[in-house]
Structure 1
């Protein structure tokens, strides 16, 4: 250290120990200066405990996690000294259909009832689904609808003498209003045939080749407007969801004699659609 006029066994430099430091030695080759710095925990801990979530006890010098005392906070220090959240400690609000607090002994579950039917729940149980807004939804509600078609047509035709045969065709198209499920269809068909029967004349009426009535004028004068009505109720099959179906039937006449004529036919179709 030339500027301190150091040489040989002496040195004129003065080294002063600052805070938390210690200087030993004379600055000579055999006894050099030694600077030691000692920083205690009490000096370091206030620095590292200055942030959120950390506590420092000046009396003990212990740095620890700072747990908030705010209501609802469930963070705790476990037996091993680590932070943990007890199972089910989080606040769980349950309402209609939901039970439990989320703990191991009381998990959050759906409050279901017992299956009261003889059939298997795995096979015949319905579905509960979550919609786009996070709301639970059940299966679509069932639908029952009725549609009616009716038409009156006039004629002045002779009733054929042979076996019963088609006189006219009545038809309508129905639509399943349920866009979710197929509909089972029950169809009622009704035909009303009006006849003119001179004395001694006779005629048969019906539909779809089925003779349902035979009328004969056993009197001595003409019967005008003799009326026969036939009705059938039949299963019409199923219609796909939102689909369409055409329902049709033939009004039939036959076994005409004595100048029998048909003058009017009323065709009616009623359809009951059921989707469950």
Structure 2
């Protein structure tokens, strides 16, 4: 007795009138789909094996199956549509690129050009813009006739100005300008002076025989300061008296502090 195994069939009785016929029978083809490919058919003439891409139905998906194969849709002829900030369509002749302006400055772009950054929300950001601020304070103070100190750079009053750096990223450069005007009463053969910090700013004398009242002149001084990012500076203006003689007195001090702040 003859029995066929897997994939083999046996027919007939094994005699001349009914010989044995052994036939190979193909086993059925087992197919399995993948994440991106769908398979069908069993490999026979009536059901040939075929594969088709599986496309995500998400409306934002730009991938499609065209007559010539997979394409990226969204533009003319299967190319990519662009909006503000991009040029090109993704083709070989017009690759995607950033839409940029022409560099027109006389300096070198490679060494002087700013930077572009990507923030946590995926938006493009440039270098922080320049910033400017201005702070000022001034006053006119009167005094009972007070003798001008005979020494040098003797402190009288010390006003201050609070200056803020408006930028939390970069240090600020500050030009501090101060003005001082002090009124002196000068008896005959007397003298008096005033200063800002360690600097003697003016000195006046009366060599005549009569007294001079409210003798004054405005003086100015400028200096530079640097404030760290996000920092605060309390800038003093030390006003001094000096070289008083012959009973000279002061009766009024007018002062002003101005701060010009740049962040670039």
1:189–1:269 CA contact under 8 A, matched in 2: yes
Instruction: Give the SS at the match of 1:178.
Output: coil
Q: Among 135, 145, 158, which residue is 1:147 paired with?
A: 135
Q: Among 245, 250, 260, which residue is 1:257 paired with?
A: 245
Q: How far does the alpha carbon of each residue in 1:80-118 deviate from its partner, in whole angstroms, 9 at most, with x for none?
A: xxx6658x9864231222111122322111122332223
Structure 1 residue 270 displacement after superposition: 1.1
Aligned ranges for residues 87-98 of structure 1 at < 5 Å?
91-98=79-86
1:72–1:91 CA contact under 8 A, matched in 2: no
Q: TM-score, normalised by structure 1?
A: 0.68
1:49–1:63 CA contact under 8 A, matched in 2: no
- Rounded to whole Å, the distance in 2 between the matches of 1:73 and 1:119 is 44
Matching of residue 124 in structure 1 with residue 130 in structure 2: no
| 213-222 or 199-208, which deviates more | 213-222
The structure-2 alpha-carbon separation of the partners of 1:222 and 1:184, relative to structure 1 and needing over 3 Å to count, comes to closer
The structure-2 alpha-carbon separation of the partners of 1:59 and 1:227, relative to structure 1 and needing over 3 Å to count, comes to same
Mind listing any 5+ residue stretches in structure 1 that lack a counterpart?
A: 2-14
Q: TM-score, normalised by structure 2?
A: 0.71
Matching of residue 65 in structure 1 with residue 70 in structure 2: no
Instruction: Give the SS at the match of 1:150.
Output: strand
Between the two proteins, the alignment pairs up a number of residues equal to 245
- Rounded to whole Å, the distance in 2 between the matches of 1:261 and 1:226 is 10
| 95-104 or 68-77, which deviates more | 68-77
- Rounded to whole Å, the distance in 2 between the matches of 1:217 and 1:170 is 33
Instruction: Give the SS at the match of 2:237.
Output: strand
Instruction: Give the SS at the match of 2:176.
Output: strand
- Rounded to whole Å, the distance in 2 between the matches of 1:76 and 1:85 is 6
**Residue 219 (structure 2) aligns with:** 230
**Residue 210 (structure 2) aligns with:** 220
**Residue 89 (structure 2) aligns with:** 101
Matching of residue 169 in structure 1 with residue 158 in structure 2: yes
Structure 1 residue 231 displacement after superposition: 1.4
- Rounded to whole Å, the distance in 2 between the matches of 1:242 and 1:90 is 51
The structure-2 alpha-carbon separation of the partners of 1:68 and 1:180, relative to structure 1 and needing over 3 Å to count, comes to closer
Instruction: Give the SS at the match of 2:215.
Output: strand
